[in-house]
Structure 1
């Protein structure tokens, strides 16, 4: 099996293990058993458990990046684009809550584990970069500029989405989750200053 295909197989197996037993149950042996492959196949595809965790984060990030780009490419007003992006994120969480729990668990575990901390920080920085890219694309598409520090805006959006996800995982209130995301998109769009405004 090509290495890329094996890695994808093992990432999927790792997610199944963690969704069923919790992120703390992740071991290369458990992943090998879940995937039905020799332990050596896991170590060949990933040099360490941390590398496997990085791949789990990367797999989620690739889906998130694609979602944000589709939101921009579909066009519309800034509010429409941002609503499509933020509510689209909500829809992915609602569709697969087990995956969100795993990602949140891995991120929190990074606060206690030095190796996982590096992977969690890299993942957070990449998500932040994706949100920042979204804001730049929206501003560029509409010839506007963001009021205030755009990096602070991106960090605030990221924190809001992750926080809302945790709240939703506890309450299961889909409708409130979506309303909050839509309100955040509306408030964020209001921070975009159109070209030539105030001149």
Structure 2
């Protein structure tokens, strides 16, 4: 859904509330207080809390990115490590994105529209990852025994699981990078 400038600003205010206080704290009133807009302005911008949540999810998805450069280059392993690292809560911005994503993942279990949006995004990412694994196999970078679909699922599981763990048990960036590199290497059939 295309957002107006005001809707984007209000959705960003709502995401800030989620980061600081959790998703239960988001209401028309708290968004008004956080954004500096009146309660009436928030109500005119969004007809329902469902519309606010859709706008928040769109803003959250827009904030997520991929490593710069061509996907899968210079090597698939290097690119995947950078991709996973880019999703981990290793600084305040990524911590906020992780908390916001976790709030929506929890809501997805009870809201089919949120579930469908997240699933579509995951499917898109898995498709890209599987195609990159297939290309790396065809180019001889990795062995033919590496299953593209399974590897795509496992890379996402690695990123999501490690992100969740780092929220409650932070680790040194260097330690995390070594862990991710080892895990991705093993997924791609590299012994170390």
Please classify the TM superposition score into its range, dividing by the shorter chain length: 0.7 to 0.9
Judge conservation of contact 1:86–1:182 (CA < 8 Å) in 2. Answer: no
The C-alpha deviation readout for 1:91-124, integer Å capped at 9, x for no partner, is xx2113233123212311333x4xx343144224
CA distance in 2, matches of 1:61, 1:179: 27
As a proportion of its length, which structure holds more helix?
1
Judge conservation of contact 2:9–2:35 (CA < 8 Å) in 1. Answer: yes
Bigger mean CA offset, 163-172 vs 70-79: 70-79
5+ residue gaps, structure 1, are: 192-199
**Number of aligned residues:** 183
Structure 1 residues 148 and 189, CA gap change in structure 2 (3 angstroms): closer
CA-atom RMSD, angstroms? 2.9
Q: Answer yes or no: is 1:129 the counterpart of 2:124.
A: yes
Question: Aligned ranges for residues 158-197 of structure 1 at < 5 Å?
Answer: 158-175=156-173, 176-190=175-189
Q: TM-score, with normalisation over the residues of structure 2? A: 0.77
Quote the offset at 1:6 in angstroms.
Answer: 1.1
CA distance in 2, matches of 1:59, 1:128: 19
Quote the offset at 1:28 in angstroms.
Answer: 2.1
The C-alpha deviation readout for 1:100-150, integer Å capped at 9, x for no partner, is 123212311333x4xx34314422431342242133145447745974653
Match of 2:150 in 1: 152
5+ residue gaps, structure 2, are: none
Match of 1:34 in 2: 34
CA distance in 2, matches of 1:187, 1:156: 11
Question: Aligned ranges for residues 43-82 of structure 1 at < 5 Å?
Answer: 43-64=43-64, 66-68=65-67, 70-73=68-71, 75-82=73-80
